[in-house]
Structure 1
Amino acid sequence: MARPLDHAKRADLLAAVVRYIADHGLAELSLRPLAAELGTSSRMLIHYFTTKEELLVQALATQRPEMETLFADIADAAALRARLWDFWQANTAGAGQTSVRVMLQVLGAACAPRSPYVEYADAAIGTFVAALTEGLRATAVEHPEVVATLLVSGLRGILQDRLVTGDVDRTDRAARRLIEQNVV
């Protein structure tokens, strides 16, 4: 008889997996060292999540903000600029930075042929672009989906720059300029 899932333990494992990936990286991730660090076994991880890829996708899902509602109440360009700047700041420090570090690794891994992360990465990008497109519609910007794509891709690139270089001032100025020039 299969052991029932302990949902609190499962949630704790997902949070710990995100921290582990942020600290150790995704490229060489193996279940045994991960399980040892989490104080469990690879068998238990498979019991809870079926596959390593499913474990990672579920861990990432716990970190993704509710994008569908992030820009839903935007009334004008000034409000959207402020919300994007708040989003930038939330994702460049503390737990937000950990989530971004992991997300960027998954997006990179999704570029590999037959990657198990393609579907997740595509949905994550698509959700962010769609939500921002709706926010941009309130500003009457021309081609809101194109501008949303530019903002999402540009901010993601600047986030990666910041994580690699550690240059807070330059990347903050670049993010602010990207937002101000595209949300008018």
Structure 2
Amino acid sequence: MARPPDHHKRAALLAGVVTYIGENGLADLSLRPLAAALGTTSRMLIHYFGTKEELLVQALATQRPDFDAFFADVSDAAGLEARLRESWTAMTVGDDAVSTRILLQVIAIGPTQPGPFADFAEKALDTVIGALAAAMVRSGWSRGIATADATMISAGFRGLLSDRLITGDFERTELSAERLIGVVLGGMR
């Protein structure tokens, strides 16, 4: 009879997978080197998670910030502006920086690899845009404009984050993020 998976070990493996992806990237990820870095075997990873894709999706899910909670108390333009700046900082130099790099990789892979990555990327984008649009509606935007503006901010942030990671130009991307927030919120004021 098979031994049931150890949930503490499983959680530790997921955390290790996130660290590994953050340092080595997601493209061309192979189970053997990943398992060796985690101090286990590829067979044990399959035992705990079933497939490589399921392992990666579960690891990524541990990194998804709770955007609904993050924007829940926003109900005016000033609060929205402050929260967007806070979000940008968290994604670039704060607690969410590694998660953001990983999410950008999944979003880049999603359109070319249907399946778990595409599903994960779509759900992540829907969650971000939905939470931000809801905060915008509470702050006075119409539903349609809120969804369009939330999409613009989400896409703009993703582009600027990719730009920053590729070029290392912190000053330009920081100014651009400020301008993006100002332009979008300025249309409401």
TM superposition score normalised by structure 1: 0.95
1:39 aligns with 2:12: no
Is the aligned partner of 1:163 residue 2:173? no
What letter matches 2:107 in structure 1? L
The amino acid across from 1:168 in the alignment is F
* Aligned twin of 1:87: 87
Report if aligned partners of 2:106, 2:117 keep a CA contact under 8 Å in 1.
yes
Indicate the larger mover: 136-145 or 163-172: 136-145
Q: Distance in 1 between matches of 2:118 and 2:109?
A: 8
- Letter matched to residue 40 of structure 2: T
The verdict on how the C-alpha distance between 1:113 and 1:64 changes in structure 2, with shifts beyond 3 A counting, is: closer
Counterpart in 2 of 1:149? 151
CA offsets, 1:32-66, max 9 Å, x none? 11000110010111111111111111111111111
- Is residue 97 of structure 1 aligned with residue 79 of structure 2? no
Give the aligned length. 184
Q: Is the CA contact 1:77–1:138 (under 8 Å) kept in the aligned structure 2?
A: no
Query: Secondary structure at 1:4's aligned position in 2?
Result: coil
Shift of 1:181: 1.4
The amino acid that maps onto 1:65 is P
- The residue type equivalent to 1:144 in the other structure is A
Distance 2:79 2:136 in 1: 10
Distance 1:35 1:64 in 2: 23
> Where does residue 178 of structure 1 map in the other structure?
180
Distance in structure 2 (CA, Å) of the matches to 1:77 and 1:28: 43
Q: Residue in 2 aligned with 1:109?
A: 109
Query: What 5-or-longer segments of structure 2 have no aligned partner?
Result: none
- The residue that corresponds to 2:127 in the other structure is 127
SS at match of 1:120: helix
Matches of 1:65 and 1:156, distance apart in 2: 15
DSSP-derived class of the 1:14 partner: helix
Q: CA–CA distance in 2 between the matches of 1:178 and 1:138?
A: 20
Task: Give the Å deviation of 1:113.
Answer: 4.4
Q: Distance between the aligned counterparts of 1:177 and 1:74, measured in 2?
A: 20
Distance in 2, Cα, partners of 1:102 & 1:38: 18
Distance 1:139 1:66, change over 3 A: same
**Cα displacement (A) at 1:169:** 1.2
Q: What is the aligned partner in structure 1 of residue 139 from structure 2?
A: 139
Cα distance change on mapping 1:13 and 1:49 into 2, 3 Å? same
Tell me the residue number matched to 2:22.
22
* Contact 1:147–1:182 under 8 Å retained in 2: yes
Q: Kindly indicate whether the alpha-carbon contact (under 8 Å) linking 2:57 and 2:116 is maintained by their aligned counterparts in 1.
A: no
Query: Given residue 52 of structure 1, which amino acid in structure 2 is its aligned partner?
Result: K
1:134 partner amino acid = A
Q: What is aligned with 2:71?
A: 71
Distance change in 2, residues 1:33/1:113 (3 Å): closer
RMSD across aligned positions (CA): 1.3
